[in-house]
A and B are shown apart, each in its own frame.
Chain A
Amino acid sequence: MKKSVFLGALTIAGLAATASVASTLDDVKARGKLNCGVSTGLVGFAAPDANGRWNGFDVAVCRAVAAAVLGDSDAVNFVPTTGKTRFTALASGEVDMLARNTTWTFTRDVDLKFEFVGVNYYDGQGFMVPKSLGVSSAKELDGATVCIQTGTTTELNLADYFRSNNMSYEPVPIETNAEAQQQFLAGACDTLTTDASGLAATRAAFENPDDFVVLPEIISKEPLGPLVRHGDNQWGDIVRWVLNGLISAEELGITSANVDELAKGTNNPEINRMLGTEGNLGEMLGLDKEWLIRAIKVSGNYGEIFEANIGEKTPLGLSRGLNAQWTEGGLIYSPPFR
C-alpha cells in the first residue's frame, strides 16, 4: 500500500515535471552550459585532443550553437554517446542537441520523434577492399565476408544492396571503427563497409594505404546532421539557423577573419541581416543581435570548419564533393536570411 502510494506520487511528480518543463533555451541559459551529444570518438568529427579539448567537425556545430546562445564556445558539456545510447540521451533530455554524424531517416525523424535541423555532411556508404582481392566494382562482391558496424543504417543498406543485386554475403559484426580497421587488416573480412568518410579515415590510418582501394559504388544516401527533440520548435529553429548561418556565411564570404569588419555594415543587405546591423532576426529567435557573429567567430564558416577538421589538408583528406556549396556544384544550400 505504502509502496504503491509512493510510486503513484513519483509518477505524478514525473508527469507534472514533464508537463511544466521549461523551454530548452531557458534550460540552457539557466544552466549556463549547452549539453551536446557527440560521438565517442570519430576521426575528424569528434575527439578530445591531448589537452582534453573536444575538436572536430561535429563538435564545431556544438560550439557554434553555444557561442550563439551563451556567448561562450567553451560553455559546452560534451556528452559522449554511442550508437545505442544516442537517441535515448536526446529523448530523455540528457542532451539538448545531438551532433553526432547521425543519418537523417524517415523513422528517426517521425517515429523516434526527433527533428533533424539540416545536413552538415552528405555521406554515402562505400566499400573498401585490399588491392590483392582484385575487385574493381561492388557488383563483384558476391559471397564476400563483410565487416560491418552493428546498430547503424549501414547494416540495413548493405542487406538491401546485396538483395537487390541477387548477391549473398556473410556479415562480420563489429562494434567500433577502430575494431573494424583491425579486423579488416587481419583479414577477418574481404571488404569493409561504412560511410565513405569513415573509409577515408580508416584508409588514411593504414601503414600502406596504397594497398587498399575504395570501390566506386556509393550504395546509400547518408545525410548526416544535427538533431533535436520534437516539440520545442524555438530550440530547433536556433540550432537550424546557426547551421544555416555557417553555411550562408561561406556562400557570402563571411569568415572568422573578416566577420568583425563586415559587422560594421556592408552593402549586402543579407550580410547585414545575418550580422545584426539590419533587421531583428536574432530577436525573433529569442537571442540577441550578435548571435551569428559569435557563432562564426568560433571556428569560422562552414568551409573553414570543413577544411580545418576533415578537408584535404587534414589526414582524412576528404574533398568537398557533394559537400561543396550549391554555387560550386555541391548540395550545401542554406535558405535565405530574410
Chain B
Amino acid sequence: MSDKVTAYVRTEMLEEKAPPSLNTGPLGWIKENLFPNWFSSILTLVSLWIIYKMLAAFIPWAFGGVWNASSLNECREILQGVDAACWAVIHERFWQLMYGFYPDHLYWRPNLALILLIVALIPVLFDGAPRKLLWISVATPFVGPWLLWGGTIWTPVAAALGFVVGIAVYRLVASALSNLAGLVLGPLAAVIWWILLAGRFSDLVSSILPLGIEPVESRKFGGFMLAITLGITGIAASFPLGIILALGRQSNLIIVKTLSVGFIEFIRGVPLITLLFVAQVMLAYFLPKGTDFDIILRVMIMITLFAAAYMAEVIRGGLAALPKGQYEAADALGLNYWQAQRLIIMPQALKIAIPGIVSTFIGLFKDTTLVSIIGLADPIGWVKYIQADAAWNGIVWELYGFVALVFFIICFSMSRYSMYLERKLETGHK
C-alpha cells in the first residue's frame, strides 16, 4: 500500500501570522487605549472635539498673526477684522521685555554673566566635567554681579577678600584657641570686613589703580533679566541657607534651635508680598533719609529669606525620611557631626528631597513676578508699561502669552533637569 497516508497530525508548525490588523500597530493601540468600550469611546470623542475646537481657534489666531506693525490699530487694519494675534508688539518690544531699561550696548554683560553661570554650574550639576571648571564656579558669584552692575573691579575683589579674611581668622583662632571660637570669630571677622572695611578698601585701591566698566543702576534692570537675576540669586543663596536652617532646627543646641524654628515659622507665616512691601516701603522709613540701600538688593534679600524658610522645611523632610540607623552608623564609624552630615546624612537627605527642592526653586522663580506690585520692572511690570503706550493700549493676550511661554520654558527645563538628577542618583533603594 503505497497509498498516501493522509496525516491528520500536523508535523510542522504553520508560520505565525500577524495578529488581526485591528489589534496591532497604531490601529490596535487606538482600539485598546481610546475605544476599549462604549463609555471610553464617548469620552474620547468628546475630548477630541474639545481639543479640535481649541486648536481650531488657537492655531489661526497664533500663526495668522501680524509681525510687522507699529501700533495695535495698524495691526487691526492689516487684519481687516480677522481675529488673529498682533505679535508686532513682541517684535517691537522684545528687547525691553528681555532686558528692561538696561543700556542696549551693554546687553553682552548680562549675557556673559548668564553664560558664565551656566559654565559654573556644569561641574556642580554634571559629574565628569573637568574639575578645573570649579574655579569658574568659585569666581562666578563675584564676577557675575560685577558684570551686571559694573563699576570698579575692586568691589568684587573686596567682597571675595571677605571670605579670605574669614577663613584666615578661623584657621588662626582654631589653631590658637578652639574650633568653636574659630567658628564664631571667623564669620564675625568677615562680616566686619564687609561692613566696615570692604568699601574703603575698594575706594582706596580704585583711586590708585582705577580699573572698571561702565556702572549700570539697579533701576535700569528689567524684564526677564531682572526675573532671572532675582531667581538665580534667590536659588543660589537660599539653598545653603536652607540647609543650615534645617540642621539648626534639628540641633540639640537650644539657642540655635529656637532661632531656626522662630525664623522659619515667622517667614512661613507671612506672605511674600508682605515681605516685599516691607523691603520697599517700611525699610525706607526705618533707614536714615538718603541712605541708598539698593531696592533690588533689598528685594533679593527678602526673596532669599523667604525661599530659605521653605527650603529648610523641604530639607528637613529629607532628613526625617532617613532611617535612624544611618545616624547611628555614622556615630559608630566615629565621624564627628560635620563629617557625618557631609559624608552620610546630607547626600541621602538631599537626594530624597530633590523633587521638593526643585519645586521650591520653580515656585521661587515664578514668585519673582510679585515684584511688579512694588513697582519694579519685571516682565509683568513691562507688560503694564507697554499697555500704557498709546500705540499698544488695549493689547493683552499677546504680551501675557509671551511672558507665560518664556516662564514655561524655563520652569519646564528645571523640572526636566530634576527628573534627570533623580534618575542619575537612583541607587536602588526602591
Given contacts A50-B93, A80-B375, A206-B394, contact A89 B388 (CB under 8 A): no
Tell me whether A93 and B388 are in contact (CB under 8 A). Answer: no
Verify if A135 is at the interface (C-beta below 8 Å from B).
Answer: no
> Within the complex, which residue of A14, A42, A47 is in contact with B288, where a contact is CB–CB below 8 Å?
A14
Across the two chains, which residue of chain B brings its CB closest to A207? B76
Across the two chains, which residue of chain A brings its CB closest to B394? A205
Verify if B390 is at the interface (C-beta below 8 Å from A).
Answer: yes
Among B16-24, B36-44, B244-252, B279-287, the stretch that binds chain A is B279-287
Q: Which residues of chain A in 135-185 are interfacial with respect to chain B, using CB atoms and an 8 Å cutoff?
A: 176-178, 181-182
Across the two chains, which residue of chain B brings its CB closest to A14? B288
Verify if A336 is at the interface (C-beta below 8 Å from B).
Answer: no
Measured CA separation A10–B171 after assembly (Å): 32
Given contacts A27-B290, A40-B375, contact A52 B394 (CB under 8 A): no
Identify whether the interface residues of B are mostly helix, strand, loop, or mixed: helix
Verify if B385 is at the interface (C-beta below 8 Å from A).
Answer: yes
Verify if A17 is at the interface (C-beta below 8 Å from B).
Answer: yes
Measured CA separation A316–B394 after assembly (Å): 12
Tell me whether A93 and B396 are in contact (CB under 8 A). Answer: no
Across the two chains, which residue of chain B brings its CB closest to A46? B388
Tell me whether A44 and B390 are in contact (CB under 8 A). Answer: yes
Identify whether the interface residues of A are mostly helix, strand, loop, or mixed: mixed
When distances are taken between beta carbons in the complex, the residues of chain A under 8 Å from B381 are: 40, 80
Across the two chains, which residue of chain A brings its CB closest to B96? A52
> Within the complex, which residue of B93, B284, B291, B393 is in contact with A204, where a contact is CB–CB below 8 Å?
B393
> Within the complex, which residue of A91, A94, A176 is in contact with B384, where a contact is CB–CB below 8 Å?
A176
Interface size range of chain A in the complex: 35 or more
Given contacts A48-B101, A206-B394, contact A43 B384 (CB under 8 A): no
Verify if A107 is at the interface (C-beta below 8 Å from B).
Answer: no
Measured CA separation A181–B291 after assembly (Å): 39
Across the two chains, which residue of chain A brings its CB closest to B103? A52
Q: Which residues of chain B in 359-395 are interfacial with respect to chain A, using CB atoms and an 8 Å cutoff?
A: 372-375, 377, 381, 383-391, 393-394
Verify if A5 is at the interface (C-beta below 8 Å from B).
Answer: no
Verify if B289 is at the interface (C-beta below 8 Å from A).
Answer: yes
Distance of B375 from chain A, by nearest CB (Å): 5
Verify if B342 is at the interface (C-beta below 8 Å from A).
Answer: no
Against B, the Cβ 8 Å flags (1 = close, 0 = not) of A14-52 are 101110010000010000000000011111101111101
> Within the complex, which residue of B286, B291, B393 is in contact with A43, where a contact is CB–CB below 8 Å?
B393
Measured CA separation A79–B377 after assembly (Å): 10
When distances are taken between beta carbons in the complex, the residues of chain B under 8 Å from A89 are: 281, 284, 375
When distances are taken between beta carbons in the complex, the residues of chain A under 8 Å from B131 are: none
Across the two chains, which residue of chain B brings its CB closest to A81? B375
Given contacts A41-B384, A43-B388, contact A52 B289 (CB under 8 A): no
Across the two chains, which residue of chain A brings its CB closest to B284? A92
> Within the complex, which residue of A40, A92, A314 is in contact with B385, where a contact is CB–CB below 8 Å?
A40
Verify if B219 is at the interface (C-beta below 8 Å from A).
Answer: yes
Measured CA separation A80–B56 after assembly (Å): 40
Tell me whether A17 and B284 are in contact (CB under 8 A). Answer: no
> Within the complex, which residue of B93, B277, B377, B387 is in contact with A178, where a contact is CB–CB below 8 Å?
B387
Measured CA separation A24–B387 after assembly (Å): 33
Tell me whether A85 and B375 are in contact (CB under 8 A). Answer: yes
Measured CA separation A127–B279 after assembly (Å): 37
Tell me whether B290 and A88 are in contact (CB under 8 A). Answer: no
Verify if A272 is at the interface (C-beta below 8 Å from B).
Answer: no
Across the two chains, which residue of chain B brings its CB closest to A44? B390
Verify if A130 is at the interface (C-beta below 8 Å from B).
Answer: no
Tell me whether B396 and A178 are in contact (CB under 8 A). Answer: yes
Across the two chains, which residue of chain B brings its CB closest to A93? B289
Distance of B385 from chain A, by nearest CB (Å): 4
Verify if A77 is at the interface (C-beta below 8 Å from B).
Answer: yes
When distances are taken between beta carbons in the complex, the residues of chain B under 8 Å from A220 are: none
Tell me whether B375 and A88 are in contact (CB under 8 A). Answer: no
When distances are taken between beta carbons in the complex, the residues of chain B under 8 Å from A246 are: none
Verify if B232 is at the interface (C-beta below 8 Å from A).
Answer: no
Across the two chains, which residue of chain A brings its CB closest to B383? A178
Tell me whether B288 and A13 are in contact (CB under 8 A). Answer: yes
Measured CA separation A207–B387 after assembly (Å): 15
Q: Which residues of chain A in 295-322 are interfacial with respect to chain B, using CB atoms and an 8 Å cutoff?
A: 314-316
Measured CA separation A43–B395 after assembly (Å): 12
Across the two chains, which residue of chain B brings its CB closest to A41? B388
Distance of B384 from chain A, by nearest CB (Å): 4
Verify if A227 is at the interface (C-beta below 8 Å from B).
Answer: no
Verify if B168 is at the interface (C-beta below 8 Å from A).
Answer: no
Against A, the Cβ 8 Å flags (1 = close, 0 = not) of B74-109 are 001000000000000000110010001100000000
Tell me whether A42 and B375 are in contact (CB under 8 A). Answer: no
When distances are taken between beta carbons in the complex, the residues of chain B under 8 Å from A176 are: 384
- 11 further interface pairs, Cβ-Cβ under 8 Å (given A27-B290, A46-B388, A89-B281): A14-B288, A17-B291, A43-B387, A79-B375, A80-B375, A85-B277, A91-B285, A93-B289, A178-B396, A182-B396, A315-B73
Identify the A interface with B (CB < 8 A).
13-14, 16-18, 21, 27, 39-44, 46-50, 52, 77, 79-82, 84-85, 88-89, 91-94, 176-178, 181-182, 201-202, 204-207, 314-316
24 residue pairs bridging A and B, Cβ less than 8 Å apart: A17-B288, A17-B289, A18-B288, A41-B384, A41-B387, A43-B387, A43-B390, A47-B386, A47-B388, A47-B389, A48-B385, A50-B92, A79-B375, A82-B373, A82-B374, A82-B375, A84-B373, A89-B375, A92-B289, A93-B284, A93-B290, A177-B388, A178-B384, A315-B73
